Amino acid sequence: MIDVTLRHQFGETNLDVRFDAPAGLTVLYGASGSGKTSVINAVAGLLHPDQGRVVVGGNVLGDTAQNIWLPPHKRGLGYVFQEARLFPHLTVRQNLAFGEWFARARAPVASFDHVVEMLGIGPLLSRRPGTLSGGEKQRVAIGRALLARPRLLLADEPLAALDEARKAEILPYFERLRDEVALPILYVCHAPAEVARLATTVVALDHGKLMRVGPAEDVLGDPSFSPQGPRAVGAVLHATIARHHDDGLTELNAGGVSLFVPHIPHPVGQNLRLRIAAQDVILARDVPKEMSALNVMPGHVNDIRLGDGPGAIVALTTPAGKVLARVTRRSALAMGLAVGQPIFAIVKTVAIAPQDIGGPRA
Amino acid sequence: MDWLGPEEWQAVRLSLKVAFWATVFSLPPGILVAHLLARGEFAGKQVLNGLVHLPLVLPPVVTGYLLLVGFGPNGPLGAPLSVLGISFAFRWSGAALAAAIMGFPLMVRAIRLSIETVDPKLEQAAATLGASRFWVFATVTLPMILPGILAGAILAFAKAMGEFGATITFVSNIPGQTQTLPSAIYSFLQVPGGEGAALRLVVVSIMIAMTALITSEILARKLSKRIGGGS
């Protein structure tokens, strides 16, 4: 779907990246300075790399070897920036319609009414951007990019400028774009929780170099890879809603293992993905009795990574999927952990925050 | 306005006509040059910048003389233009040309400053939405710099109304042809008993200047309100 090769010198960093990603939502993941914004800007045509080739859905948008580098307006993409960048002199309706006229040769991604309804921006149409809240502006910016009939939607940390409540408000819209509209998306992000919820494919970068490419559960479940530091490590599980309990808990079924999480407002049978932060996982050699934590997953030790500090990351295979646990090096030694050993992973229900649980996934 | 004599009235009308056309004709090149200076990256940008600002720092008599040399009937620009039937020397159109050149740096400065306040990120966003450079300018930059264009036009108009040195050098001071308000005031002051007429023209000058300023203020306020704050 997307095929990108780039070499570019910027500042101290030497960007040298090559990846291709299937349809779905591809996250460019890495710390600031890793070159992810340069990659997305090169795809958009806002950056002209020293050398590079960008192919989207079979269309060559740039190939420096052939002296082709289409300007942004000829690429047929949509771009949602970190700041909404709405046109202040136009109303919301005019902002939304801006790209439509230029894109009239392409088929619509979604109708005006559908986009307005999906993003809940109907009441804002006659207002000007100056009077909107941050979350409202970003919703309008997403709508404006969608109505430009993009072949691929680009988003550069679209949630970074928003507070937690606004993030929680916008994130589901990207899930809906991924699942309902089936629009290919290239999404720049450095927050593991966002990656876990959104990514079909993760392209992990570090200092301009490609570190990992693969499905979210593989890249995030890899104990040897923690670009944001050990606190950000966490594995992704797929689960189905099994039951809503009267005491406010929702029971999930993850590969036959029951997991209890705080209530999720989705129907029974719904597929979900959830991220379990490694630091929220406790390891035990036996099933503990009379314990407050509700979630116990049996498994085997798959890998042990001792860090430079006092910590260690332990990777487990469980029926629910790959799980990562962050424990101290001292505990790992005291428990005599070894690869292949049976082990139990324990997670507190309340440790699984709502922002770690993704919406529907097709 | 029968308190103005026919000769005075003629000078007022001529000045308004000269200033109006000087402003109208300098607007398109003024916006273009301002855009080039604000956003363009090309060799010779500083030379263009210097040329545009030259009339501001040269003595107006020098500018007038250069116009006379260049656009006179035998000048390097005047000769080919006269073949096309366009002549500037000793005509009101020459007064308009002189006024336009003298006001040009003021207009370009005002417009350039307002272009520089437009966030290039908005123009980038417009480009990603499919707008070519022309459409980015027409649909995003231009509407946002309207207050600056208005300010530049008012400055150029005011400069044109008051322009004296270059005009009198280039097209002289012919009543009904090239005698603008300042030239008329100057002429009246040269003849005994002309103070009354000069004073009346001074009052008219002040009225026109005040009207222009207040109008531009009101328009600018309306425009900025329409553009609104925030992004």
Pick A89's closest partner by Cβ from B124, B125, B226. Answer: B226
- The DSSP element (H or E) to which A57 belongs, if any, is none
The residues near A97 (Cβ < 8 Å, ≥ 6 apart) are: A112, A147
In this structure, chain A runs to a length of 362
pLDDT digits (tens, 9 = 90+) for A81-108: 999 999 999 999 999 999 888 998 888 8
- Is residue B231 very low, low, confident or very high in pLDDT (cuts 50, 70, 90)? very low
Look over chain A and give the mean of its residue pLDDT values, rounded to a whole number. 89
Q: Do B144 and A88 touch (CB under 8 A)?
A: yes
Total CB pairs under 8 A between chain A and B:
86
Same domain for A164 and A135: yes
- The DSSP element (H or E) to which A78 belongs, if any, is strand A78-80
CA–CA distance, A205 with A63 (Å, rounded to integer): 22
Query: Is residue B61 over pLDDT 90?
Result: yes
- Is residue B1 very low, low, confident or very high in pLDDT (cuts 50, 70, 90)? low
Pick A102's closest partner by Cβ from B129, B143, B226. Answer: B129
Pick A128's closest partner by Cβ from B119, B126, B228. Answer: B228
Q: Is the ipTM of this complex over 0.90?
A: no
Same domain for A237 and A111: no
Q: Do B231 and A129 touch (CB under 8 A)?
A: yes
Range of the domain at A240: 232-356
Angle at the Cα of A266 (from A261 to A270), degrees rounded to 5? Answer: 90
- The DSSP element (H or E) to which A335 belongs, if any, is none
Pairwise pLDDT comparison (B6 vs A136), residue with the higher score: A136
Pairwise pLDDT comparison (A360 vs B182), residue with the higher score: B182
Same domain for A163 and A129: yes
pLDDT digits (tens, 9 = 90+) for A204-230: 998 899 998 998 888 888 877 777 777
Interface test with B, best of A43, A56, A83, A89 (most B CBs within 10 A): A89
Q: Do A81 and B140 touch (CB under 8 A)?
A: no
Q: In angstroms, what separates the C-alpha of B75 from chain A's closest C-alpha?
A: 45
Q: What is the CATH number of the domain that holds A218?
A: 3.40.50.300
Q: Do A72 and B124 touch (CB under 8 A)?
A: yes
Same domain for A271 and A316: yes
Same domain for A312 and A167: no
Q: In this predicted structure, what is the pLDDT of residue A144?
A: 95
Q: Give Rg (Cα) of chain B.
A: 20
Q: In this predicted structure, what is the pLDDT of residue A359?
A: 66
Domain membership of residue A362 (yes or no) is: no
Query: Is residue A79 over pLDDT 90?
Result: yes
Interface test with B, best of A46, A77, A81, A102 (most B CBs within 10 A): A102
Same domain for A167 and A36: yes
Residues of B with Cβ-Cβ distance to A83 under 8 angstroms: 121, 231
Domain B6-227 maps to which CATH number in 1.10.3720.10, 1.20.1250.20, 1.10.540.10, 1.10.10.60? Answer: 1.10.3720.10
Q: Do A78 and B129 touch (CB under 8 A)?
A: yes
Same domain for A183 and A122: yes
Q: What mean pLDDT comes out for the span B152-168? A: 92
Same domain for A167 and A48: yes
Neighbour-count burial of B50, counting CB atoms closer than 10 A to its CB (0-12 exposed, 13-18 middle, 19+ buried): exposed
Residues of A with Cβ-Cβ distance to B227 under 8 angstroms: 88-89
Percentage, residues of chain A above pLDDT 90: 51
| 3 state SS of A41 | helix
Q: In angstroms, what separates the C-alpha of B115 from chain A's closest C-alpha?
A: 15
CA–CA distance, A160 with A137 (Å, rounded to integer): 13
Percentage, residues of chain B above pLDDT 90: 67
Q: What mean pLDDT comes out for the span B153-166? A: 92
Contact A277/B at CB under 8 A: no
Domain membership of residue A317 (yes or no) is: yes
Hey, what amino acid is at A344?
A: F
Q: Do A84 and B128 touch (CB under 8 A)?
A: no
pLDDT digits (tens, 9 = 90+) for B71-93: 988 888 888 888 888 888 888 99
Q: In angstroms, what separates the C-alpha of A191 from chain B's closest C-alpha?
A: 24
Same domain for A86 and A33: yes
Q: Do A102 and B121 touch (CB under 8 A)?
A: no
Query: Is residue A307 over pLDDT 80?
Result: no
The residues near A275 (Cβ < 8 Å, ≥ 6 apart) are: A192, A193, A196, A197, A220, A234, A235, A236, A237, A356, A357, A358
Say which range, A41-55, A163-177, B111-125, has the weakest mean pLDDT. Answer: A163-177
For tokens 């010198």, what's the residue? A9
Q: Do B127 and A76 touch (CB under 8 A)?
A: no
> Domain total for chain A?
2
Contact A344/B at CB under 8 A: no
Query: Is residue A258 over pLDDT 60?
Result: yes
pLDDT digits (tens, 9 = 90+) for A190-204: 888 888 889 999 999
Look at residues A194, A223, A252 and tell me which one is the last residue of a structural domain. A223
Q: What mean pLDDT comes out for the span B2-19? A: 88
Same domain for A264 and A172: no
Same domain for A253 and A111: no
Interface test with A, best of B122, B128, B227 (most A CBs within 10 A): B128
Query: Is residue B230 over pLDDT 50?
Result: no
* Crossing angle of the two packed helices B181-190 and B195-227, in degrees rounded to 10: 160
Contact A108/B at CB under 8 A: no
Domain boundaries, chain B: 6-227
Q: Do A88 and B135 touch (CB under 8 A)?
A: no
The gap from C-alpha A342 to its chain's centroid, in whole angstroms, comes to 32
- Is residue A187 very low, low, confident or very high in pLDDT (cuts 50, 70, 90)? very high
CA–CA distance, B61 with B35 (Å, rounded to integer): 29
Q: In this predicted structure, what is the pLDDT of residue B185?
A: 93
Q: In this predicted structure, what is the pLDDT of residue B201?
A: 92
Same domain for A309 and A170: no
**Count of other CB atoms within 10 angstroms of residue B106:** 24
Pick A73's closest partner by Cβ from B122, B132, B228. Answer: B132
Hey, what amino acid is at A247?
A: D
Q: Do B128 and A83 touch (CB under 8 A)?
A: no
Query: Is residue A273 over pLDDT 60?
Result: yes
Q: What is the CATH number of the domain that holds A350?
A: 2.40.50.100
Q: What mean pLDDT comes out for the span B171-184? A: 90
Phi, psi of B72 (to 5 degrees): -65, 165
Annotate A47-64 with b (16+ C-beta within 10 A) or e (fewer).
bebeebbbbbeeeebbbb
Q: What mean pLDDT comes out for the span A122-136? A: 93
Cα-Cα end-to-end distance for chain B? 49
Q: In this predicted structure, what is the pLDDT of residue A362?
A: 41
